[in-house]
C-alpha cells in the first residue's frame, strides 16, 4: 500500500518521514542543494529537520551523486555535502564515478519515498515531479536492502 506524491506535495511527506524517524534515515539523491534565496526556504526546512534528528541521535546516511573530476554533478552537491558532513551526518558517493540518480528517503526501515524528486529548489517548486510513499514492510525492506548494499560499497565524501 502506498500513495502517489506529485510536485510540491513532496516536501510535506519528506518532512513527516524525517520527523517520525527514531533510528535511521537513509537518503539517496542526484542533486542536493541549500539556498538562502526566498524559494530556498522550503529546502532549508528539510535540512533543519535532518539536523534536529541527528542531534537526537538518529543515524543519517546520505548517498549522493559525485564525480571526482566534478563532471556531471550539480554544483550544489559539494557545499551541501560539506555542510552535512561537518554536522556529523555520514555522506558517501558511489565508487568509480558511478552516477547516483536514485531518489529515495527511507525512515527506520518502515516507510519510504521513492521517485523523481531531488532535494533541490527546482525539484520542490518548479519541476513536474512524481514520487511514491511506500508503507508495505516487504517493499520497504527490499529498498532498504538495496540501499545498504550500495552504502556498504560507497566511498566517504
Average pLDDT value for residue range 32-49: 92
The three cell numbers of residue 109 are: 526501515
Rounded distance, CA 84 to CA 60, Å? 10
Which is it for strands 24-29 and 59-64: parallel, antiparallel or unpaired?
parallel
The four Cα atoms 12, 99, 87, 57 give a dihedral, to 10 degrees, of: 60
3-state secondary structure the chain: CEEEEEHHHHHHHHHHHHHHCCCEEEEEECCECCCCCHHHHHHHHHHHHHHHHHHCCCEEEEEECCCCCCCCCCCCHHHHHHHHHCCCCEEEECHHHCCCCCCEEEECCCEEEEECCCECHHHHHCCCCEEEEECCHHHHHHHHHHHHHHHHHCEEC
Neighbours of 66 (CB within 10 A): 23
The CATH number of residue 65's host domain is: 3.30.870.10
pLDDT tens figures, 63-118: 999 998 877 899 999 999 999 999 999 999 999 999 999 999 999 999 999 999 99
Rounded distance, CA 134 to CA 126, Å? 24
Range(s) of the domain holding residue 59 = 2-156
pTM of the full structure: 0.96
pLDDT tens figures, 115-138: 999 999 999 989 999 999 999 999
Q: Is the pLDDT of residue 38 over 90?
A: no
User: How many domains does the chain divide into?
Assistant: 1
Q: Please report the pLDDT score of residue 22 as a whole number.
A: 98
Q: Please report the pLDDT score of residue 50 as a whole number.
A: 97
Average pLDDT value for residue range 16-42: 95
Q: Is the pLDDT of residue 1 over 80?
A: no
Average pLDDT, whole number, for the chain?
A: 95
**Band (37; pLDDT cuts 50, 70, 90):** confident
Amino acid at each position: 500500500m502506498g500513495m502517489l506524491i506529485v510536485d510540491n506535495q513532496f516536501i510535506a511527506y519528506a518532512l513527516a518521514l524525517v520527523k517520525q524517524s527514531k533510528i535511521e534515515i537513509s537518503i539517496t539523491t542526484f542533486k542536493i542543494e541549500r539556498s538562502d534565496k526566498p524559494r530556498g526556504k522550503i529546502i532549508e526546512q528539510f535540512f533543519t529537520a535532518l539536523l534536529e534528528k541527528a542531534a537526537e541521535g538518529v543515524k543519517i546516511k546520505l548517498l549522493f551523486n559525485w564525480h571526482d573530476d566534478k563532471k556531471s554533478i550539480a554544483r550544489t552537491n559539494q557545499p551541501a555535502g560539506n555542510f552535512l558532513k561537518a554536522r556529523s551526518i555520514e555522506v558517501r558517493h558511489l565508487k568509480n564515478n558511478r552516477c547516483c540518480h536514485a531518489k529515495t528517503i527511507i525512515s527506520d526501515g518502515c516507510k519510504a519515498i521513492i521517485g523523481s524528486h531531488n532535494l533541490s529548489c527546482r525539484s520542490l517548486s518548479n519541476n513536474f515531479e512524481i514520487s511514491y510513499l511506500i508503507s508495505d514492510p516487504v517493499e520497504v525492506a527490499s529498498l532498504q536492502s538495496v540501499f545498504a548494499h550500495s552504502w556498504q560499497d560507497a566511498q566517504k565524501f
